[in-house]
Structure 1
Amino acid sequence: MTTRDLTLQDFEQAVSGDGIVLVDYWAAWCGPCRMFAPIFEQASERHPDIVFAKVDTEAERELAAMAQITSIPTLMVFRDGIGIFSQAGALPPTALESLIEQVRALDMDAVKTEIETAIESGAEGGERG
């Protein structure tokens, strides 16, 4: 599977569904972005069950701002509609593969329970006072 370009119009739909979505925020003028691009593309070919998407931060400035991108390349990972990873900097191939393995191994029921607990704790904490 090859990478796909995301825009403000289709971003939410792309990252909110079931499965794993990796999003590479990049720009044509960015040297590290150009170095990471073939690594990202090769990983997309090895993992056809994962969506590999790219956001051109120059063309999609509003989307980059909404994602609070301050440095590129930035890689974000979503699983089952939940943002679970965000890191600036180009990853070497072995680090990207390791990240993918870790994302696959996540117990998403446990992640969802942890999020719900944090939200409930935050709501209870906000009522005190």
Structure 2
Amino acid sequence: MATMTLTQDNFDEVVTSNDIVLVDFWASWCGPCRSFAPTFEQSSDKHPDVVHAKVDTEAEQGLAAAANIRSIPTIMAFREGVLVYAQPGALPPASLEDLVTQVKGLDMEKVREQIASQQDGAK
């Protein structure tokens, strides 16, 4: 499955209407971003059940700012609309595969309980 392009207009819809979404925040001038692109594309072919999406931080500066992107590439993973991973840096193929496996294996009921308890603790 090919990667899709996310924009400010479709970001929320894509993230909330798909079970698992991996997002690569990148820019064309970024060497590590260009080096990571084939790895991300291969992952999209291997995992057609996972939406692989890219955000061009130059074209979507508002979206990058809203996502608090400070360094690129940054990879984010959403499961059932919940951000479960966000880290800058290109991942080698084995690490990206491990990330996909871990996100697929998450117990989202426990994740939501953890989020709720953190929010209660912050009050």
1:68 is aligned to: 68
The answer for unaligned runs of 5 or more in structure 2 is none
- Matched-pair contact (CA < 8 Å) for 2:22–2:50: yes
TM-score of the aligned structures, taking structure 2 as reference length: 0.97
Structure 1 vs Structure 2 CA RMSD:
0.8
Matches within 5 A, 1:102-117: 102-117=102-117
Which whole-Å deviations, capped at 9, do the CAs of 1:25-84 have from their partners, x for residues lacking one?
000000000000000000000000000000000000000010011100000000001001
Q: Which has the higher helix share?
A: 1
Give 1 or 2 for the bigger CA radius of gyration: 1
Structure 1 unaligned regions, length at least 5: 124-129
In structure 2, C-alpha distance between the alignment counterparts of 1:17 and 1:120, rounded to whole Å = 27
Aligned length: 123
- Whole-angstrom distance in 1 between the partners of 2:80 and 2:18: 4
> 1:1-129 counterparts in 2 under 5 A?
1-123=1-123
Q: Runs of 4 or more off by more than 4 Å in structure 1?
A: none
Percent of paired sites with the same residue:
54
C-alpha separation in 1, matches of 2:61 and 2:122: 32
